[in-house]
């Protein structure tokens, strides 16, 4: 959250904030004021919890404080409107105020649950929003990323992203706070999964800042994906995405050294990998592949499983990985998939073959520090240290991630010159 103090347990707050926001939107039906009220409650938590201790029911505490702030604001707005005679008194939409028969009686709060977070997730991916707006709003409201973080991830100015998120909020204002019916569920699912994928990627490798890994975001993405899978247990895309996340996160203990330095996949101590997570992710990947045609998440999960199953880097089944990448690039235009395929080509056919793939990709995808990083690695393997050093330094200068920049400069310095 934008204004949350650093010394508050951010993981605790991030877990509860979407449910608190969902509870307020469900009850009052005012997205923008509800988010402001939640922000104010988080600021109050930042001030009080370090001094008084975390309450026994932090989610309930946040809801009470946020509800008071929102109620005060709505009453103030209503009074001003009456004084100015500019509009009728505010009346929340029935869908947000009147609970269904199976909910708590009038006057009693229904406890926020995972269902609120899921409903908020699908609301943010409403078809009335453009794909870019869906992703931005969900990252902000459900994922807890700041506007600046979302802007960096999309390579746009922060002011542009702030306007995009504001327009999205205005669009969903007044919409029914209900899970979509089965006819609409599939239409929104693609956007929901893409958002969860982006949240996980930002958590696993932060796009900027001093830390390589943001475990709070990665865990939140996995938690939300598990929730979507409970809603849609037989959907291969959902299962594939969860498998990909679990298999990737299993490597986290070996990704950095004692000093926080980045350790690439082929140099990691695989004894440190979470083998319980590897077993779960592999089983999920197999299940995902058995459910209909393989899409991009299922194929990426299968690639991750092949990496995780290899006891040593030299045991990796690169020909099989290349075959899976061949399928993957046919079903997704993502340049990251093409770059991964270039690495697989290099591992199977040699670094010069991989470099040819990288150069072809650079002509269509444009400059990016990951392209320079892969190019540098393949040039080093091909025996061209001077060109590799130049590419490593170009990649280091272009990334906003401090650990990645340090690693890339270290590789360049190791080549001398």
Give tens-digit pLDDT for 108-155: 343 446 678 888 888 888 888 888 888 888 888 887 778 887 887 666
What is the arithmetic mean of pLDDT over 203-231? 87
Task: Tell me if 180 sits within 8 A of 188, measured CB to CB.
Answer: yes
Distance (Å) of CA 258 to CA 8, 276, 312: 25, 23, 21
Among left, alpha and beta (phi > 0; psi -120 to 50; other), residue 201 is alpha
Note the residue count of the chain. Answer: 417
For residue 154, what pLDDT is reported? 66
| Per-residue model confidence as pLDDT tens digits over 361-402 | 998 877 889 999 999 999 999 999 999 999 999 999 999 889
- Classified as helix, coil or strand, 256 is strand
For residue 155, what pLDDT is reported? 60
| Per-residue model confidence as pLDDT tens digits over 231-240 | 899 999 999 9
For residue 319, what pLDDT is reported? 97
Beta bridge partners of 262: 256
For residue 417, what pLDDT is reported? 64
Among left, alpha and beta (phi > 0; psi -120 to 50; other), residue 232 is beta
Q: How far apart are CA 386 and CA 405, in angstroms?
A: 18
Q: How far apart are CA 49 and CA 8, in angstroms?
A: 7
Three-state secondary structure readout of 103-128: CCCCCCCCCCCHHHHHHHHHHHCCCC
| Per-residue model confidence as pLDDT tens digits over 12-67 | 666 677 778 877 777 776 677 777 788 788 878 878 888 888 888 888 888 888 88
For residue 39, what pLDDT is reported? 77
Q: How far apart are CA 385 and CA 11, in angstroms?
A: 43
Find tokens 């360049």 and name the residue: 412
Using 50, 70 and 90 to split pLDDT, how confident is the model at 68?
confident
| Per-residue model confidence as pLDDT tens digits over 285-334 | 999 999 878 899 999 999 999 999 999 999 999 999 999 999 999 998 88
For residue 14, what pLDDT is reported? 63
For helices 275-289 and 236-249, angle between their N-to-C axes, nearest 10 degrees: 160
Task: Tell me if 192 sits within 8 A of 122, measured CB to CB.
Answer: yes
Q: How far apart are CA 99 and CA 29, in angstroms?
A: 13
Using 50, 70 and 90 to split pLDDT, how confident is the model at 76?
low
Looking at the predicted structure, is the pLDDT value of residue 170 above 80?
Answer: yes
Task: Tell me if 382 sits within 8 A of 351, measured CB to CB.
Answer: yes
Find tokens 């990334």 and name the residue: 399
Q: Are strands 400-401 and 208-209 parallel, antiparallel or unpaired?
A: parallel
Using 50, 70 and 90 to split pLDDT, how confident is the model at 80?
low
Looking at the predicted structure, is the pLDDT value of residue 88 above 60?
Answer: no
Shortest CA distance to 301 belongs to which of 256, 253, 250? 250
What is the arithmetic mean of pLDDT over 221-234? 91
Q: What is the largest CA-CA distance in the chain?
A: 78
Q: Poorest-confidence range of 18-27, 75-84, 197-206, 302-311?
A: 75-84
Shortest CA distance to 180 belongs to which of 231, 113, 104? 231
Which two structure tokens, joined as six digits, stand for 136?
Answer: 């931005």
For residue 355, what pLDDT is reported? 97
Task: Tell me if 304 sits within 8 A of 244, measured CB to CB.
Answer: yes
For residue 343, what pLDDT is reported? 97
Q: How does the average pLDDT of the chain come out, rounded?
A: 83
- Classified as helix, coil or strand, 193 is helix
Q: What percent of the chain has pLDDT over 70?
A: 85
């Amino acid at each position: 959250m934008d204004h949350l103090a650093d010394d508050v347990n951010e993981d605790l707050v991030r877990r509860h904030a979407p449910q608190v926001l969902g509870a307020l939107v469900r009850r009052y039906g005012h997205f923008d004021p509800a988010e402001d009220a939640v922000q104010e409650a988080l600021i109050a938590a930042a001030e009080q919890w370090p001094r008084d201790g975390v309450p026994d029911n932090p989610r309930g505490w946040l809801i009470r404080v946020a509800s008071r702030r929102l109620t005060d604001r709505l009453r103030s707005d209503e009074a001003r409107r009456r004084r100015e005679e500019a509009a009728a008194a505010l009346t929340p939409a029935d869908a947000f105020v009147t609970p269904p028969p199976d909910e708590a009686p009038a006057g009693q709060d229904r406890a926020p649950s995972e269902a609120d977070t899921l409903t908020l997730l699908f609301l943010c991916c409403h078809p009335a929003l453009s794909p870019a707006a869906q992703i931005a709003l969900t990252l902000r409201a459900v994922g807890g990323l700041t506007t600046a973080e979302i802007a960096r991830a999309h390579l746009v100015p922060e002011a542009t992203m702030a306007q995009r998120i504001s327009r999205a909020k205005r669009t969903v204002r007044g919409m029914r706070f209900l899970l979509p019916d089965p006819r609409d569920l599939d239409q929104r699912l693609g956007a929901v999964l893409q958002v969860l994928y982006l949240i996980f990627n930002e958590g696993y490798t932060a796009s900027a800042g001093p830390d390589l890994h943001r475990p709070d975001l990665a865990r939140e993405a996995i938690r939300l994906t598990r929730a979507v899978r409970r809603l849609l247990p037989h959907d291969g895309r959902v299962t594939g995405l969860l498998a990909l996340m679990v298999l990737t996160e299993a490597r986290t203990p070996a990704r950095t050294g004692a000093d926080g330095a980045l350790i690439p996949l082929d140099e990691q101590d695989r004894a440190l990998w979470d083998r319980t997570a590897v077993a779960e992710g592999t089983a999920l990947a197999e299940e995902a592949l058995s459910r209909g045609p393989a899409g991009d998440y299922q194929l990426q999960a299968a690639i991750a499983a092949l990496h995780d199953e290899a006891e040593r880097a030299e045991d990796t089944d690169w020909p099989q990985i290349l075959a899976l990448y061949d399928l993957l690039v046919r079903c997704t235009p993502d340049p990251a998939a093409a770059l991964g395929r270039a690495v697989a080509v290099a591992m199977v056919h040699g670094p010069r073959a991989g470099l040819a793939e990288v150069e072809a990709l650079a002509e269509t995808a444009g400059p990016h520090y990951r392209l320079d990083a892969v190019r540098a690695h393949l040039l080093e393997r091909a025996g061209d240290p001077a060109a590799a050093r130049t590419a490593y330094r170009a990649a280091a200068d272009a990334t906003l991630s401090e650990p990645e920049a340090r690693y890339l400069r270290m590789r360049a310095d190791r080549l001398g010159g």
